[in-house]
Structure 1
Amino acid sequence: MNFSNWLWLWTAIMPLAVILYYFFRKKYKDQKISSLLFWEEMMKEIQASPYLKKLQHHLLFYLQMAALVLCVLALMGPYLEDEGLEGNEFIFVVDTSATMLAGSPSQFEVQQEKMRELAEEAGGKPVTIVTAGESPEVLVREEQETEKLLETIDGLEVDYGNEEMEQALLYAESLAGDESAVIHVFTDALDRGRLAGKTGRAYVVHGMERPLANASVLQFGLAEGEGGVRAIVQAANHGTEKLAGEIIVTSDSGTRQQKPVVLDAGAEIVVPFEGLANGNVWRAELQIGDEYKADNEMSAILQQPVDQIYLDAALHELVASGFSALGMEAVLMESDAVGKSTGAPIATNQTDLLANPAPVLLLGRNDASPVEVSGKIEWMDHPLLAYAPLDGVFVSHLYPGFDGYETLASIGGQPFIQLSPEGDIAVLADIQSTDWPLNPSFPLFLWSAVQSLSQSGDFLGFFQPNEYRSVALASDSGEWEIFKEDAYLSSYLEGQGAFKAPAEPGVYNVVGEDEAMKLIVRLSNEEKMLAAGTSYRIGEAAEKAETVRHSVMPWLIVVILLLLIAEWEVYRRGIARR
């Protein structure tokens, strides 16, 4: 132990003064009493050292001396030295995706404990905490108070969304002051190749080094048949060991059915359930001995099947062939009559029909000219494209996009597929300018589009955790409340930006003044795949590690207070005996 202020050593005169007081205070004359002469021989040893006798039997003196000596030490600023962290500034990039819930204790809890340790070892150096969600968020910036850092770390929560680590790392680099900053990444797995091109920075990656057993529900679908409801559950084992369990499907009406399953390592199976009793909202649950439970459930809603669509005769015949392959009735209508149809979705290229009440699948545009494009299609993870990946699709020309629409897929930064605030779907290309009809994903996209356009009025749709989306909500009050079962979560005000879905997967009720709708949040397939990583370090910080001082004063103050309490108790007992 060292001291930071030796000048206060002069205060040691205070305990010396107390000792002198005890030595030279008034002495009393001893008077021999005949009845005690018998004990004189036995007391000679103690009488030879009268001052030692007083010290041995004066507890109050000891307590006073101990408190004074500790006060002197406290004034001198005692501290203990410890090896600090390398770097002059620290940035914590925290993965808050659903996969961080894997393990027991969860990977997120393990990383929180590591963050607490590093925050305490920072020794007052600035620390910035950034979450790596869909868009990076700074929780604290260059915070130096350890208590505030620990409070922020304890308040971290998993938001179930996809982690955008590349974007978060770029953002963290922009926050770093100089080359002395060290970026600590807390995640389950981060490939070294993603940091290979990042030079001039020091990175420390804290990963999940142990592979975990994991099985999940990949898909859950419902259909209404003659013998009742038919459900199909697709389950997969993503681990390297064989797992056995059961799949249970339940409805809001109380219907329950279960089947045993055995999943080999890396295998996928489809489990059908036939003849289920009627129900509206259903849940599929995989009960199995894995170490990641967040992906073991999925909810679905039973909707009325759509078997008809009104098709504009101006569209290419391949569109009608795509709907025919789905077993749907495509009613071919002249362009001037298709806008008058009701009761089913419309497929057309007439942009003026977007203002009609009927749902519209726009394939191309009749009010603009296309421009040549090149490049690969980039698309977002959205329910509309869940069954229709766009890999290998070639598009030569695109029409201009719509302002205010959500872009689901793009080519070279130009919109290819958009979603309107009312739920209409716009494909900004003529079918004949693509090879999409030759791809198996084309009829699947048509099916997803029709299902999306024909959703019932009491179902708001399928969302991903924390997804922002424009929705068609209208009520007299303009306010909607979101509930999970009977628990209130949040409110949404019409016209105050895009609607934000809840974070946790499950079924929610969106309640307006005179209307209520169901909303289902589903975990993305990306968050159902666990990856075991490693902990490693890349780069060196310009500022080397230095010792950190930990003050001993708080502990000394606590001991001094306890001594004062004991001294008061001794004094009180002494007064009481007089």
Structure 2
Amino acid sequence: MSFSGWGYVWTAVMPLAVLLYYFFRKKYKDQHVASTMFWQELMKEIKASPYLKKLQHHILLYLQLAALLICVFALLGPHLTSEALEGNEFIFVVDTSATMLAGEPAAFELQQELMKEMATQTGGKPVTIVTTGANPEIVLRKEPNREALETAIDRLAVTYENAKIEQTILFAETLIDDESTVIHVFTDALDRSILANKAGMAYEIHGIDQPLQNVSMRQFGLAKTEDGIRAIVQLVNETAEPVSGKVILTDGEVEKTANIQLEAEEELLVPFEQLPDSPVWQAVLQVKDDYTADNSMAAFVQEASTRVAVDSSLHELVGAGFRSLNVEVDLMDPMQLRKAGGSPLVTNQTDLLAGQMPILLIGRNDEKTHRVAGAIETVPHALFTYAPFDGIYISEIYPPFEEYETIATIDGEPLIQLSPEGDIAVLTDIQLTDWPLHPSFPLFLWSAIGELSGTDNFFGFFQPNEQRAVALASTRGEWEIYKDGEFFYSYIEGQGAFSAPQEPGIYEVVGEGKTLKMIVQLSNEEKTLVQGTSYRIGQAEETAETAELSIVPWLLFAVVFLLLVEWEVYRRGNAHR
């Protein structure tokens, strides 16, 4: 224990002065004595120990002196000293990825306890807490209060998304205002190479060095066959020992089970044949390991295509528009289009509409155009959710298809139509418009490819907390997210990108009288465990070696308690008079 207010040591004379005053003050009271003989005996006893007699019957004096002594002690500024963290300011980077759930207790819980322990060693210096992810979040900014820090640490939770820890560290570096700031990274494992070029800055990595056993489900796919649905599950044993267990497939009604045996560090493909024709299946791995978050996956029978076949006779901006969306484009000769695979086809050949391939028709090769003028009007449809046609100039259009549904018009004439089979027909050529100059052009292509390759009851695959533009259209503009019948949140169209739930699983997106399935699952990066280590890089400047924890608040609490006791003693004394 140390003291910072030795200049107030002179106040110690005050309790002594009170005590002396109490001893030597004169106080008279009536004393009834039965006889002179008893009077003499009483006087002898008082003279033998006059001061002790006074003290024996005055508990109030004891309490007052104790309170006064504590106040004098508090004026000296007593405080406890402990080893302080290196640095004058701290940034806690907290890994909230799914792998932090591994272990028993979980790595995330261990790091929370470590953070709270370190919060007591900051000595009142400011602490900033940042969580990892695609969009790092500042939980607290330069907070010196230990209680506030502990409360914020207790509220932290795993978000399941990929940590992107290198990106988060770069973000944390932008928050540094002091050269003596130290960045503490709380994670399961972090490669030293990420910090190799971080010169002139101080980092301390807190990893989890305990070995963990893990068997992960890496892939789960479904495919339609003549005999029903075929499923394949890929398992990886990351441990150095053989493990056994079983894989369970279910669609909510039917359940299929396969026993498995994996050797050390073995990869295994587990097939399932002749499954019932259900659109969504879930695979669950039952095995004894230290990480359960990667032991389940869900799959949908028909996945959206990321590949498109484009007629080479179309304007080159069509292919460029798809490439800007990271869609693989196969430019094909018009004569070879019938040999294209099952991916959507973009062409102007109307005779291909009779085939089985989904088609985006841009223009017509069997008709001639005629001039039009006017504004474009659209009906509510998913194609136009993120691709408005405002301000687009179109000079000529083709005649419409009589049996098709019209969803966009110009000057009262059909411009975009839908076939009964779901094909999309744009009744103009790209070179007859200024459409490619507008941002809505690639957005329309993206919506069209999703419409052609998707299904009417599947919303898509997402990673935890993934934000993405989605093509939804409704008159109300509101969609509700459910899981196992429990409501999670609502998504309002037009109010930013859609944000997926953070916990993996199968969800329902409900709106406009229909229900769409949505699957949220971990990225492959979150299915591999790495044993970590703790280490330091760099050294902070101008740092204190110890942290001081004042005990004055506890002393003041003791004074208040003594005053309450004194009041109770005084009250009881008056009650017996």
Same fold flag (TM > 0.5): yes
In structure 2, how many angstroms separate the alpha carbons of the residues matched to 1:111 and 1:81?
A: 24
Q: Could you tell me whether the CA contact under 8 Å between 1:475 and 1:514 is conserved in 2? A: no
Q: What are the equivalent positions in structure 2 for 1:99-498 lying under 5 Å apart?
A: 99-224=99-224, 229-252=229-252, 254-277=253-276, 279-303=278-302, 312=311, 335-337=348-350, 340=353, 344-346=357-359, 357=418, 403=439, 420-422=445-447, 424=449, 453-498=452-497
Q: For the structure 1 residues 343 and 558, does the alpha-carbon distance in structure 2 shift closer, same or farther, using more than 3 Å as the test?
A: farther
**Aligned AA (2:560):** L
Aligned to 1:414: none
Q: What are the equivalent positions in structure 2 for 1:39-78 lying under 5 Å apart?
A: 48-78=48-78
Aligned to 1:375: none
Aligned to 1:448: none
In structure 1, how many angstroms separate the alpha carbons of the residues matched to 2:338 and 2:36?
A: 124
Q: CA deviation at 1:21?
A: 4.8
| Secondary structure in 2 matching 1:219 | strand
Q: CA deviation at 1:226?
A: 5.7
In structure 2, how many angstroms separate the alpha carbons of the residues matched to 1:471 and 1:341?
A: 29
Q: CA deviation at 1:218?
A: 1.4
Q: For the structure 1 residues 484 and 34, does the alpha-carbon distance in structure 2 shift closer, same or farther, using more than 3 Å as the test?
A: farther
Q: CA deviation at 1:235?
A: 1.7
- Give the stretch that moved more between structures: 350-359 or 466-475: 350-359
In structure 1, how many angstroms separate the alpha carbons of the residues matched to 2:356 and 2:311?
A: 15
- Give the stretch that moved more between structures: 93-102 or 489-498: 489-498
Q: For the structure 1 residues 5 and 484, does the alpha-carbon distance in structure 2 shift closer, same or farther, using more than 3 Å as the test?
A: same
Aligned to 2:95: 95
In structure 1, how many angstroms separate the alpha carbons of the residues matched to 2:335 and 2:55?
A: 107
Q: Could you tell me whether the CA contact under 8 Å between 2:309 and 2:331 is conserved in 1? A: no
**Aligned AA (2:490):** S
Aligned residues: 500
The question of 1:83 aligning with 2:83 is answered: yes
Q: Could you tell me whether the CA contact under 8 Å between 1:9 and 1:76 is conserved in 2? A: yes
**CA deviation map 1:149-190 (0-9, x unaligned):** 333322222211112222222222232224322111111111
| Secondary structure in 2 matching 1:245 | strand
Aligned to 1:517: 516
In structure 2, how many angstroms separate the alpha carbons of the residues matched to 1:351 and 1:146?
A: 71
**Aligned AA (2:128):** T
In structure 2, how many angstroms separate the alpha carbons of the residues matched to 1:303 and 1:329?
A: 12
Q: Could you tell me whether the CA contact under 8 Å between 1:98 and 1:160 is conserved in 2? A: yes
- Give the stretch that moved more between structures: 339-348 or 258-267: 339-348
| Secondary structure in 1 matching 2:92 | strand
Aligned to 2:554: 555
| Secondary structure in 1 matching 2:299 | strand
In structure 2, how many angstroms separate the alpha carbons of the residues matched to 1:333 and 1:423?
A: 10
Q: For the structure 1 residues 260 and 563, does the alpha-carbon distance in structure 2 shift closer, same or farther, using more than 3 Å as the test?
A: farther
Q: CA deviation at 1:227?
A: 5.4
Q: Could you tell me whether the CA contact under 8 Å between 1:311 and 1:320 is conserved in 2? A: no
In structure 2, how many angstroms separate the alpha carbons of the residues matched to 1:190 and 1:343?
A: 50
**Aligned AA (1:494):** E
| Secondary structure in 2 matching 1:294 | coil
Bigger Rg, which one: 2
Q: For the structure 1 residues 7 and 515, does the alpha-carbon distance in structure 2 shift closer, same or farther, using more than 3 Å as the test?
A: same
Q: Could you tell me whether the CA contact under 8 Å between 2:346 and 2:359 is conserved in 1? A: no
- Give the stretch that moved more between structures: 70-79 or 270-279: 270-279
Q: Could you tell me whether the CA contact under 8 Å between 1:255 and 1:279 is conserved in 2? A: no
In structure 1, how many angstroms separate the alpha carbons of the residues matched to 2:6 and 2:343?
A: 93
In structure 2, how many angstroms separate the alpha carbons of the residues matched to 1:192 and 1:61?
A: 66
| Secondary structure in 2 matching 1:26 | coil
* Percent identity between the two aligned chains: 51
Q: List structure 1 runs of 4+ shifted beyond 6 angstroms.
A: 34-37, 43-47, 317-325, 329-334, 347-356, 365-368
In structure 2, how many angstroms separate the alpha carbons of the residues matched to 1:16 and 1:305?
A: 88
**Aligned AA (1:567):** E
Q: For the structure 1 residues 197 and 320, does the alpha-carbon distance in structure 2 shift closer, same or farther, using more than 3 Å as the test?
A: farther
Q: Could you tell me whether the CA contact under 8 Å between 2:92 and 2:127 is conserved in 1? A: yes
In structure 2, how many angstroms separate the alpha carbons of the residues matched to 1:320 and 1:181?
A: 66
Aligned to 1:4: 4
In structure 1, how many angstroms separate the alpha carbons of the residues matched to 2:300 and 2:6?
A: 75
Q: CA deviation at 1:76?
A: 3.5
Q: Could you tell me whether the CA contact under 8 Å between 1:310 and 1:345 is conserved in 2? A: no
Aligned to 1:447: none
Q: CA deviation at 1:506?
A: 0.6
Q: For the structure 1 residues 284 and 405, does the alpha-carbon distance in structure 2 shift closer, same or farther, using more than 3 Å as the test?
A: farther
In structure 2, how many angstroms separate the alpha carbons of the residues matched to 1:332 and 1:83?
A: 69
Q: CA deviation at 1:99?
A: 0.8
Q: CA deviation at 1:334?
A: 7.6
| Secondary structure in 2 matching 1:53 | helix
Q: For the structure 1 residues 7 and 457, does the alpha-carbon distance in structure 2 shift closer, same or farther, using more than 3 Å as the test?
A: same
Q: CA deviation at 1:7?
A: 4.7
**Aligned AA (1:500):** S
Q: TM-score, normalised by structure 1?
A: 0.75
**CA deviation map 1:23-44 (0-9, x unaligned):** 225144765547997x979x98
- Give the stretch that moved more between structures: 233-242 or 275-284: 275-284
Aligned to 1:413: none
Aligned to 1:378: none
Q: What are the equivalent positions in structure 2 for 1:494-505 lying under 5 Å apart?
A: 494-505=493-504
**Aligned AA (1:466):** N
In structure 2, how many angstroms separate the alpha carbons of the residues matched to 1:405 and 1:235?
A: 42
Q: For the structure 1 residues 367 and 468, does the alpha-carbon distance in structure 2 shift closer, same or farther, using more than 3 Å as the test?
A: farther
CA RMSD, Structure 1 to Structure 2 (Å): 4.1
Q: TM-score, normalised by structure 2?
A: 0.75
In structure 1, how many angstroms separate the alpha carbons of the residues matched to 2:467 and 2:201?
A: 34
Q: For the structure 1 residues 329 and 128, does the alpha-carbon distance in structure 2 shift closer, same or farther, using more than 3 Å as the test?
A: closer
| Secondary structure in 2 matching 1:175 | coil
**CA deviation map 1:214-267 (0-9, x unaligned):** 111112223455655443322221222222222222222x32232322222211
Q: Could you tell me whether the CA contact under 8 Å between 1:84 and 1:123 is conserved in 2? A: yes
Q: CA deviation at 1:472?
A: 1.2
Aligned to 2:318: none
Q: Could you tell me whether the CA contact under 8 Å between 2:343 and 2:357 is conserved in 1? A: no
| Secondary structure in 1 matching 2:120 | helix
Q: For the structure 1 residues 320 and 203, does the alpha-carbon distance in structure 2 shift closer, same or farther, using more than 3 Å as the test?
A: farther
- Give the stretch that moved more between structures: 295-304 or 163-172: 295-304
Aligned to 1:26: 27
Q: Could you tell me whether the CA contact under 8 Å between 2:350 and 2:364 is conserved in 1? A: no
- Give the stretch that moved more between structures: 12-21 or 454-463: 12-21
Aligned to 1:391: none
